Amino acid sequence: ASKSDLGRPFTVAVEGNVGSGKTTFLQHFIKNNNVAVFAEPIDMWRNCNGYNLLELMYQDPKKWSFTFQSYVQLTMLRQHQKKVIQPVKLMERSLYSARYCFVEKLSRDGLMPSASVAVIDEWFKYITKYEDTTVDLIVYLRTSPEVAYERILTRNRSEERTVAFEYIKALHDIHEDWLYHKTLHKCVAPVLVLNANLDRSVIEGEYEKYEPHILNKIPLEAKT
Ligand SMILES: Cc1cc2cn([C@H]3C[C@H](O)[C@@H](CO)O3)c(=O)nc2[nH]1
């Protein structure tokens, strides 16, 4: 099919704290021919014209968080714009978690000046107004901060070596307010909450239980 007549796919964003198991979740769906999977463009964040912006941000957030989050917003826009032929498009995170979780957190911590937040927000409002960045379903991989932090330590990603538990706890609370209590910002899509504390060995069962909802086979209201 040519780009012009591709209908918009059922677009799912998988959201969750650092270490909530998003990559494992994506791997379950990569095997499905009806799903186009887009992992977080972390390799772009690690190499923007030779600069590892992710590392710079973690080393000196005051100096680099605006630079990093500006590039994140651009790379996430590209992910939203990608055309697919599959009926379902599954993205890791979104423009919304970028703005509502990570920029929010940097702003609360005073690591990103309010003038910089204002510029990010102007771009966010313009992009979401004039580009089709629709998300039809958010899958919230809900973990406890302790479980997420434990996984971060185990995964041992070099840039995350300086991440403190308090950061993960705060990011957890922001995700909870956004996607569970729905008290932070307007909710951009219906939210399917999965228990992502489950161990890797049993979590496939949790994915399969809700696969019909995730693949838009049955509406969320029918969630058992
Ligand atoms: C959309 C978005 C994703 C994202 C990830 N990150 C960080 C958290 C993790 O340590 C790493 C990979 O998700 O990047 C961030 O600081 N800001 C972000 N914004």
Q: Which of 55, 92, 166, 176 is catalytic?
A: 92
Give the pLDDT score at 56: 98
Asked if residue 51 lies in contact with residue 58, where contact means CB atoms within 8 angstroms, the answer is no
User: With a cut of 0.90, is the ipTM above it?
Assistant: yes
- Percent of the chain at pLDDT exceeding 70: 96
User: Tens of pLDDT along 137-166?
Assistant: 999 999 999 999 999 999 999 999 999 999
pLDDT in tens, 10-69: 999 999 999 999 999 999 999 999 999 999 999 999 999 999 999 999 999 999 999 999
pTM: 0.94
Q: Does an H or E element contain 114, and which?
A: helix 114-130
Q: Does pLDDT of 173 surpass 60? A: yes
CA atoms within 13 A on the CB side of 220: 12
% of residues, the chain, pLDDT over 90: 89
Amino acid sitting at position 180: Y
Furthest-apart CA atoms within the chain: distance in Å: 48
Mutate to test the pocket of ligand 1, among 53, 102, 157 (most ligand atoms within 8 A of CB): 102
